A and B are shown apart, each in its own frame.
Chain A
Amino acid sequence: MQVEMTVNGRAMSADVEPRTLLVHYLRDHLGLTGTNVGCDTSSCGACTIHIDGESVKSCTMLAVQARGAEVTTIEGLASNGELHPMQQAFMECHGLQCGYCTPGMVMAATSLLNENPKPSEHEVREGLEGNLCRCTGYHNIVKAVLSASGQGGS
């Protein structure tokens, strides 16, 4: 079936099986491979994207459920060749190593700051609970999010 949605500001469409997960629609059919898959139990958050401004694990819904939605993936975050402030903060705080959790982590973190622009360290940790990272021990991820919120330097 044909599934259309707006992804990173552009109208997109692909012919997919009805059971296609949104994350596979983005990755395998639209070629937007920045969004990663780290699990099969909706536990890791590697697949986190924004749908109509809210962060969502894209492995937890079907592509058809996002019909007509405004989707933002990690590929849509930087603009005019400039990293988004959250991406910049991750770089400055060394908030990534292998980078596999990073797209999901950055998407979750930007949405966290949209809802709570000045979170405490505890609130950052709580807000990122659904995103697993095996490399960083979270220390520098938390630091990056606090830094992006204008609290504490890098």
Chain B
Amino acid sequence: MTTTEQAPSGANIGTRKLRKEDPKLLTGEGKYVDDIHAPGELWMGMVRSTMAHARITGIDTSAAAEADGVHAVYTGADLADMGLWAAPLPCAWPVTADMVNPPHYPVANGEVHHVGEIIALVLADSRYGAADAAEQVVVDYEPLPVVSSIAEARDGDATAHSDLDSNKAYHWPLVPDPDALEAAFANATHVISAEFEQQRLIPAAMEPRGVLAVPSPHGGDITLYSATQVPHILKVMVAATTGIPEMKIRVVAPAVGGGFGAKLNINPDEILAVTLAHRLGRPVRWTETRSEAAFSTHQGRGQLQKIEVAADENGKIGGVRVHIDADMGAYMMLITPGVPLLGSFLYTGVYDVPAFGFTCDGYFTNLTPTDAYRGAGRPEASFAIERAMDLLAARVGVGPDEIRRRNYLNGGEAFENLETASTLVFDSGNYAPNLDAALEMAGYADLRAEQQRRRDAGESKHLGIGLCTYVEICGLAPSRALGGLNYGAGGWEHATVRFLPTGKVEVVSGSTPHGQGHETAWSQIVGDKLGIDPDDVTVLHSDTAISPLGMDTYGSRSLAVGGVAIAMACDKVVDKARLIAAHQLEANPDDLEFAGGAFTVKGSPDKTMPIQGVAYGAFTAHDLPDGMEPNLQEQMTFDPPNFAFPFGTHVCVVEIDEETGNVELLDYTAIDDCGNQVNPLIVEGQVHGGIVQGVAQALWEGASYDAEGNCRNPSFLDYLVPSAMEVPSLKLGSTVTPSTSNPLGVKGVGEAGTIGSAAAVINAICDALSPYGIDDMPMPATPARVWKAIQNAKGGQS
């Protein structure tokens, strides 16, 4: 059933409930890792490589070892000799059987492969002492040839690892029907061919990463506090890399200050803190500095894309062919090789593409490893196809809205469970009304008129209007699908829902929030399902001792998998409660109605029992049906049968000053469709933040490297995370097309904004500059780049 009007709402689901999380966070009560201390803690100070590729010929630790307050100094060789590693740092996604995966240990031993790789570390009794002592370690290097870009990795002679003869890590094809693809291009009237660079991005969550490992020396247990999105995965991986038995390990993600994918890895510092604390019997900690984060936390994107679109004379697409060269960086981190492939299925966008082919080559460089960053592969895909659609529109001579309408899946009309050429089955969609809503809210016709007026008047401030009609894959993921992609884990999520004796409810969730408002949203779901006040619900999460089963938070999966698991656990609670109520009311279970939090015998309104009363009865267990277990608590592990495919239309309006090349965002409209909404307030917040991150890729951000592999802009002084000054207020709306992949009809929204926005901005810029014949603009579209493009175009005209 598709509606475009409103979300279905219970008393709570669909309402703009204010967040439960906020009072703590607003008053400084929230505890992030760096706020937590343990008696006797030692601080790690990292000695990081200043060279991108070199042999380490000597390390002098003597001055550091003698410094005041220093407990120990370790080199990579020392740690290897101590036998601390059971296995290298993990890559959970070997995308092909022959993928190259050089061993990656927390501390380099012999050869370094990127600037900032850890060479040695000190343990000192204070934050400042650790930093000082680390600076006193002297390292001698013998430089090796540096691979500082994807192009060099692909075309040059140097190898990023001296023991490899090639930089190529893997080749991954997805070409369901090669003959059909070839025929599509052979028969095409128009072939659009374009290349784009997805520059590297520094994720820059506002809370730097940090760890604190607290051992219990006699019991052998260890607790790791980490600023992580993935405590459950981290726990398994700590066991695998250190050999500490898994049941001795507890991982806690306390308040986490944003993640965006950057906190879903297994990092050297986490493993070092655990092993050293375990070995020394003392707490060990570390907090990343912002300037260090460009090296100590993975980066996002890093792709060269080539997309070709074959179309007939009307612009109707016959085929799409894509090739990507992807920058892995120096090592395979947790899901590094899989990130570009997450986008592979989306290069057909929201369009009816009869034939499709995608290939990806992964390459090693001597740069910080890449991995997931908000959208992870999907913003890249959306960018390429949405840029190509605008190029196709120009070629055919129709507007960007019209070219999209001509190609929408199912003719732009509502559909359910539709198979696409990229082999996935889209759960539901209804694209044309979504586009209409966006164009109307943006005032598209007036904008075009104003654009024409400026052009006719020869004004130097050009107006550009950019569209992006994106789709994304959320609800990661059906475990079987992950198995098919050779991913090393499942995609389910776990929930426990339990009534406490006093009628309050405790929910234990395996998904791990870091700003998304799970406590509020989950309480709303439980409130409606159990007919109770959401404020009578508490949500426990992010601590493996409390929530032992979980697959954590990434890929816009929390609601569509974790939230659904909670709803289903609630259904089980009601089922059990019904049996108890029927027993105590001396009625047939089928004759009971459950509404408003109470069971009532149909036709006998006075024979009723609130669910809290049932819960108390289940707790005392004085009068339960024969053989029934006491207590009212149920568990659910939900493995989604399919992904969810949210979609939407973004309309970006820019003004470009011809004199300076400055791009000003005048207006931004987004109509997103994430299926049913649990809390529109939270949905809007996710979209706002996502849009600005995507806009930032288009206009300001990009990790820049010199030929020696040095990052030129690691700190906030020169890596331009936007402030409130750079961005306008955003106009949001939504359509609602419920998902068929889960009983709540929800799709997920965490990454939507980012997936739609970069293409909308660059399309707007190219639209503004189209009179100059400009149809491409590299990201970030800095004033210098835009100005130069205009000058070149003018030069070319004269």
Contacts and interface: CB of A to CB of B under 8 A. Distances in A.
A3 to B, nearest CB: 15
A128 to B, nearest CB: 5
B729 A139 contact: yes
Interface string A85-111: 001001110101111111100100000
Contact of A136 (B24, B128, B689, B715): B689
A7 interface: no
Contacts of A91: 18-19, 22-23, 26
Given A46-B206, A136-B689, A140-B685, A98 B729 contact: no
Interface residues of A, number: 58
**Which has the most chain B C-beta neighbours within 10 Å: A43, A99, A101, A133?**
A99
Nearest to A121: B729
A103 B18 CA distance: 18
Contacts of A126: 725
B25 A102 contact: yes
A142 B26 contact: no
Contacts of A98: 25, 205-207, 255-258, 514-515
Nearest to A154: B18
A138 B693 CA distance: 11
Nearest to A86: B26
Contacts of A106: 26
Interface in B679-697: 681-682, 684-686, 688-693
A138 B724 contact: yes
Contacts of A44: 206, 290, 716
A43 B690 CA distance: 22
**Which has the most chain A C-beta neighbours within 10 Å: B27, B29, B34, B205?**
B27
A40 interface: yes
B19 A94 contact: yes
**Which has the most chain A C-beta neighbours within 10 Å: B684, B691, B692, B753?**
B692
Would you call the interface of chain A mostly helix, strand, loop, or mixed?
Answer: loop
**Which has the most chain A C-beta neighbours within 10 Å: B206, B515, B729?**
B206
Contact of A41 (B35, B258, B692, B717): B717
Interface string B183-225: 0000000000000000000001111100000000000000000
Given A98-B205, A98-B257, A100-B258, A36 B688 contact: no
Contact of A137 (B18, B26, B256, B692): B692
B514 A39 contact: no
A94 B521 CA distance: 13
A20 B129 CA distance: 12
Interface string A1-27: 000000000000000010110001001
Given A41-B716, A134-B205, A134-B689, A97 B26 contact: no
Interface in B700-731: 715-717, 721, 723-725, 727, 729-730
B405 interface: no
Interface string A129-147: 1111111111111100000
A78 to B, nearest CB: 5
Interface string B493-526: 0000000000000000000001111000000000
6 contacts: A100-B257, A124-B724, A134-B205, A136-B685, A137-B688, A140-B685
